[in-house]
Chain A
Amino acid sequence: MTAGVRAEGGSMSTLLDAQGLHKAYGPTTALAGADLRVRAGEIVSVMGPSGSGKSTLLHCAAGLTRPDAGHVGYDGQELSMLDDVRRSALRRREFGFVFQFGQLVPELTALQNVALPLRLDGVSRRTAERRATGLMDRLGLADKARSRPGELSGGQQQRVAVARALVTGPRVIFADEPTGALDSVAGEQVMEMLTTAAREAGAAVVLVTHDARVAAYADRGIVVRDGRSSERMGVR
């Protein structure tokens, strides 16, 4: 398990490096020695059957769940050594998240949702909303700024989530089945926007999916099976 598949990969430094992750939920073993390495700006797909531990791997890599064993290094820091305040700051500034559903705050408008990470980081409302508006325009959400999540279609909600994930200029976006609740047309649209915007911003993407068509958007991929990961050859 060395080197990337893509030729230009060699010049890139490893940004996120998770190794030997173990995680058990009571009697259930979710991860049994999984690895995940992400270099700056690349899109990595994580595939595998349902229940194989993909989400758990993503949660551990993003510092949302503490693994029972193993290391997660991000930009030279060991995530498990960081306290809640620093990990939260990482989520705010360096990471972005797009989940299957439920990550938008129903009480806030689309614009407020997108601006939320900036607001939490102490950016003034004016600035935050200006940046959020710019991003939403590019994602085709210009006329949805004042709508609440409940008034948007599934595809629109996911685009709002994408905008929010990108708004702070993160270096890694963690996407867990971002199209899982969408039909294929809307799904493709969301994937198109997510990958294009991430590439423009130079953000890496960890893309968890069980759908090969979605995985095709990635530069390279890994497969998780029974809590173990392996490189997946022949992507693109």
Chain B
Amino acid sequence: MAELALGVRLAFPSGRRGWLRTAMATAGVAIGAAALLLGASVPVMLDARQARMEARADSVAGVEVPPGETLIVAGVESQWGSNAVRGRLIWPESPGAPLPPGVPAFPGDQQMYASPALRAALAGPDGETLRRQMPYEVIGTIAPSGLSGPHEYAYYAGYKRAESLVGSGSWRVDRFGYVLEGERGPGTYVVVAAMLATLLLPVAIFIGAALRFGADTRDRRLAAIRLVGADSRAVLRIALGESLVPAGLGLAAGTLLYLVVRGRAADLRLFDVSVFPADIRPVPVLALLVVAVIVALSAGMTLLGFRGVAVEPLGVFRRSTVWNGRLWWRLLPLAASLWLLQPVLAGAANPDEDRAGLGVVLLVIALIPLVPYLVPLVARVLPGGSASWQLASQQLRQNPAASTRAVTGIVVAVTGAIALHTFFGAASVRRATPDNPADPAYVLQAPGRQTPAAMRERTATFEQVDGIRAGTVAKYILYGGRDATGTGYLVVGDCATLRQIATFDRCADGDAFVQGDTGRTVTTLDTGHIEPTPGTKVAVPAGARPARFVGTDAQGVNVGLLLTPSIVPASLARAEPWFVETRMYEGDDAPGTAAGQLRGLAAEIDPLAQFTAIAPEYDKFASLRVALNLGSAVILLMMGVGLLLDVASRLHDRRRLLGVLAAVGARRSTVIWSVLLQALVPVLAGLALAIGVGVGLGAVLMRMSQVPVLFSASAVLAPVAVGSALVLATTVGVLLPAARRVTTTEELRYE
């Protein structure tokens, strides 16, 4: 105990190097601790979010609630920029109807309670356009208890007309709070664990570098203590006590960092998900575990540092460890990861995602033992020529572990960055356009019957928006018998619009087209019933010519009939279609706000009409990419500083040798070059490995999520460029002057 205390006392350093060492180690521990605490908060976060969603859940799927103390609800799911908008149109059937959580009272007809984020957006630029989607008078704010997160766009609007729509757009609820089907599997934990592992790895390497920096002063100190009578175990305890200081300070700083991040959590959004700071709490057991892990980690790294080291009263002796250059065990993690990834690589239809995820993490970890093997290999393979390279390659081969420690972190970080960048780059490329080029960008599906003139008017309404081309058809599903829900469509529309849906030779009003063997008549499905019910019988016109449905409409169509308005029989014109569909194509000249404008126009036609964006109106991964860039920047920065510390301390260790070399007449440039090569060759070899594995990993991720495998040079080269820039800055900025200093004979005289 006294020794631990003495160690703690000793860890408060004197001198610049000592302070730097403690500060770096503390910073590393702090970042690690904050990350771990955030990780430990994820389960609470997810639970809280789930609880919030369940508390307001109003989906009574399949159950018909009889009228009574009930509320009529209609859902309006919409989108504004990158934000989903959750709208509910409500109308109480009795004063005892259930109030939605977070809403103080029922809003009157055409009045609404809006979430703070929505209110801010309505007050912001383009707020007028957004307003058209929800043209209700704002009379209050939804409290946090009714929201999934602080940035959620949500509103509850009073809407008397919902009364008349029960069964066709609205439904009754007798309470709020239905259990939602489990959204979160164990997979979430695997992902969180994987993220933490990949984050902690560079952090641990960084802490290791910080601790090694200035290890020589610690050695001298421990030897001095040994001389006055500490036995070897006491010295170990003192060293452990020393390591507790960065651990303790780091934990404190990390907790502070965590609290800062938590406080700013309300400003953060990822995947359109925002979290209330109050919902970010570590699971108590996990928080304790974090403390234990940090303490154990720093103690473990200290003990590891004493492996093969004898602290004697007359000095510290390092047993020179024999370099184990055997390859096979270094390949084990790689082999294991490839085995785990095998289904993905083989192109299995439904690979087990948890298994594949584990394989991906393992692939990154597999790099760690490979880098120290790669470096002496490169050193051996590169042709020996200049004296400086001979010197450098000798050092690299003799002690590859020392020369590659810091590099490993960079390799891992760059590999991860390349993989994720390529993956999200490809994913966002894919999602920016509809899967099928024949499909429109947006579709409005509104219930009710429309005259051809009204359909044309609706088309014209949407074509007011710049760059939008539209077309409106009435769609019926064809009745396929008692057991089938439908076999195809009957579509009524003008020639121009029908061309969007199917291919045929030519078209004039009065034409009809047919796909497949319809027989003489077709029957529409009456969609007003739960059981398949036949609707109107329609004779297939004698002059109908063949056509083929295209795009998404072609899926599941065996038979189909396309009619221009003037050939529509009177019986069909009176029948209620499945819905009237307006298809909107977005030209390149469409403004960025087009989607918002179209949604507003759609809401004015019918707030309950279904408006669907086939292609998302925004880059879904933008926020994730920002987070990713930030994360890789932080990690790379840490790695850069770690590399710097490592190189500086190795230079410090070898200054005598270098000084001797300089003194016996080796040219200074030779010595300096050898130092530079020693630092640079491992980095270059490591970056080459990172490109290879990173690209492979990106391909695996793309395959896993069925994104077409596609690489952009920038996604690969950006992390490499950042990594190289860091290394270059380190070498040129720090190593070069240091090497100069060491090779002047001044230093030698002191020795």
CB contact under 8 A between A88 and B231, given known A102-B224, A103-B224, A107-B221: yes
User: Chain B interface mostly helix, strand, loop or mixed?
Assistant: helix
Query: Chain A contacts of B3 at CB under 8 A?
Result: 120
Closest B residue by C-beta to A93: B229
Does chain A have a CB within 8 A of B536? no
Q: 1/0 per position for B1-29, CB-CB distance to A under 8 A? A: 01100100110111100100000000000
Does chain B have a CB within 8 A of A134? no
Assembled-state Cα–Cα distance A122/B220 (Å):
23
CB contact under 8 A between A103 and B227, given known A64-B312, A64-B313, A91-B313: yes
CB contact under 8 A between A105 and B313, given known A88-B234, A120-B230: no
Q: 1/0 per position for B320-346, CB-CB distance to A under 8 A? A: 000000000000000000000000000
Q: Which of A99, A112, A121, A148 contacts B229 (CB 8 A)?
A: A121
Does chain B have a CB within 8 A of A217? no
CB contact under 8 A between A64 and B314, given known A91-B228, A107-B12, A117-B229: yes
Does chain A have a CB within 8 A of B225? yes
Does chain B have a CB within 8 A of A164? yes
Check if B2 sits within 8 Å of A105, measured CB to CB.
Answer: no
Q: Number of A residues contacting the other chain (C-beta, 8 Å)? A: 32
Q: 1/0 per position for A120-132, CB-CB distance to B under 8 A? A: 1110000000000
Does chain A have a CB within 8 A of B487? no
Q: 1/0 per position for A148-174, CB-CB distance to B under 8 A? A: 101000000000000010000000000
Check if A107 sits within 8 Å of B13, measured CB to CB.
Answer: yes
Give chain A nearest CB distance to B214 CB in angstroms.
12
Check if A84 sits within 8 Å of B231, measured CB to CB.
Answer: yes
Q: Which of A88, A92, A106 contacts B14 (CB 8 A)?
A: A106
Does chain B have a CB within 8 A of A185? no
User: What interface size band does chain B fall in?
Assistant: 20 to 34
Most chain A CB within a 10 A radius of its CB, from B12, B227, B229: B229
Does chain A have a CB within 8 A of B744? no
Does chain B have a CB within 8 A of A89? yes
Assembled-state Cα–Cα distance A85/B230 (Å):
8
CB contact under 8 A between A148 and B2, given known A93-B229, A102-B220: no
Query: Chain A contacts of B15 at CB under 8 A?
Result: 106, 150
Assembled-state Cα–Cα distance A108/B8 (Å):
12
Query: Chain A contacts of B220 at CB under 8 A?
Result: 102
Check if B229 sits within 8 Å of A92, measured CB to CB.
Answer: yes
Give chain B nearest CB distance to A107 CB in angstroms.
5
Query: Chain A contacts of B225 at CB under 8 A?
Result: 105, 116, 120
Check if B314 sits within 8 Å of A89, measured CB to CB.
Answer: no
CB contact under 8 A between A164 and B228, given known A64-B314, A119-B6, A122-B2: yes
Give chain A nearest CB distance to B439 CB in angstroms.
72
Q: 24 pairs across A/B with beta carbons < 8 Å?
A: A64-B227, A64-B312, A64-B313, A84-B231, A87-B231, A88-B231, A89-B231, A92-B229, A95-B229, A99-B227, A102-B220, A105-B10, A105-B225, A107-B12, A107-B18, A108-B9, A108-B10, A112-B9, A120-B3, A120-B6, A120-B228, A120-B229, A122-B2, A150-B15
Chain A positions within 8 Å of B, measured between CB atoms, are: 59, 64-65, 84-85, 87-93, 95, 97, 99, 102-108, 112, 116-117, 119-122, 148, 150, 164
Which 7 residue pairs across A and B have the least CB separation, nearest first? A92-B229, A88-B231, A91-B229, A117-B228, A85-B231, A64-B313, A107-B10
